């Protein structure tokens, strides 16, 4: 009698790759930073874990390297592979370490249901950046930025600062306006003009290698900011 328990067929790597790079129509707000240093708004037409097609009034040129910030999805560095009068396509497949995480973000966004591109004034970018929070008392707490926009951020922090608390996130002055299960939501006192400025300023202490301490505050040293390659954790 033959054994009916047959091993499950394996899914080939190329099928997995095709699924991962499948494009979905998802109208999300976005911004792009061109080589000239100017950051402009745009709108996603469709997106995958490896690239995106976007609409803009003044698209970047074909072959130009850009930094792309897609609402609810993340920050990507890529190259413009096609550009027309009002549309451009960006390929960011070189960031292989982010591919699976991007695919997961797209799945969550689709499952949660997008309310459309007008649901908030500024794109909110998902990230897992490490940062430092300074309280009004001078106490310092380490945290992780869950998502960030030009006007505010959601951070994972414990213990959570109280509602109304004035804090400094990296170099950004902010106010705690809500509390959630993992931490707090803050609005910046002076909104940044560019997404890159907001990201850099919010994670400034980590990025610049400054790890301030205060009495009674302990914790492990943090890894380099925003998962960039070659950024080593400081040693004591």
| Domain 13-112 matches domain 125-227 at the CATH topology level | yes
Sequence-separated (6 or more) residues with CB below 8 Å from residue 90? 32, 51, 52, 54, 66, 68, 76, 78, 79, 80, 81
Whether the pTM exceeds 0.95: the reply is no
Q: CA-to-CA distance for 187 and 191, rounded, in angstroms? A: 8
Do 143 and 149 touch, CB atoms closer than 8 A?
A: no
Cα–Cα distance for residue pair 185/197, rounded to 1 Å: 19
Cis-peptide into 159, omega within 30 deg: yes
Residues 6+ apart with CB under 8 A from 161: 133, 135, 167, 176, 184
- Arch. (CATH architecture) of 13-112: Beta Barrel (2.40)
- What does the angle CA 144 – CA 147 – CA 153 come to, to the nearest 5 degrees? 85
C-beta separation of 152 from 188 below 8 A: yes
Encode pLDDT of 187-224 as tens digits: 999 877 888 899 899 987 776 655 554 433 343 333 33
pLDDT at 232: 39
pLDDT tens per residue, range 68-104: 998 888 888 999 999 999 999 999 887 655 556 666 6
CATH number, domain 125-227: 2.40.10
Q: What's the token pair of residue 178?
A: 């809500």
The ranges assigned to domains in the chain are 13-112, 125-227
């Amino acid at each position: 009698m033959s054994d009916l328990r047959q091993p499950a067929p394996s899914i080939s790597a190329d099928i997995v790759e095709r699924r991962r790079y499948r494009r979905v129509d998802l109208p999300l707000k976005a911004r792009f930073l061109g080589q000239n240093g100017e950051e402009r708004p745009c709108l996603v037409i469709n997106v995958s874990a490896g690239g995106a097609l976007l609409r803009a009034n003044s698209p970047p040129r074909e072959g130009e390297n850009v930094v792309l910030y897609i609402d609810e999805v993340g920050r990507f560095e890529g190259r413009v592979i096609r550009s027309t009068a009002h549309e451009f396509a960006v390929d960011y497949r070189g960031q292989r370490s982010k591919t699976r995480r991007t695919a997961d973000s797209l799945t969550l966004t689709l499952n949660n249901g997008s309310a459309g591109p007008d649901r908030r004034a500024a794109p909110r970018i998902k990230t897992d950046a490490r940062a430092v929070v300074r309280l009004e008392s001078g106490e310092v707490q380490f945290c992780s930025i869950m998502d960030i926009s030009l006007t505010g951020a959601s951070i994972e922090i414990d213990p959570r600062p109280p509602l109304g608390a004035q804090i400094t996130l990296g170099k950004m002055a902010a106010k705690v306006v809500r509390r959630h299960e993992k931490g707090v939501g803050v609005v910046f006192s002076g909104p940044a003009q560019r997404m890159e400025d907001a990201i850099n300023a919010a994670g400034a202490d980590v990025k610049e290698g400054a790890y301030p301490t205060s009495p009674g505050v302990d914790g492990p040293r943090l890894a380099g900011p925003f998962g960039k390659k070659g950024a080593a954790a400081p040693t004591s």
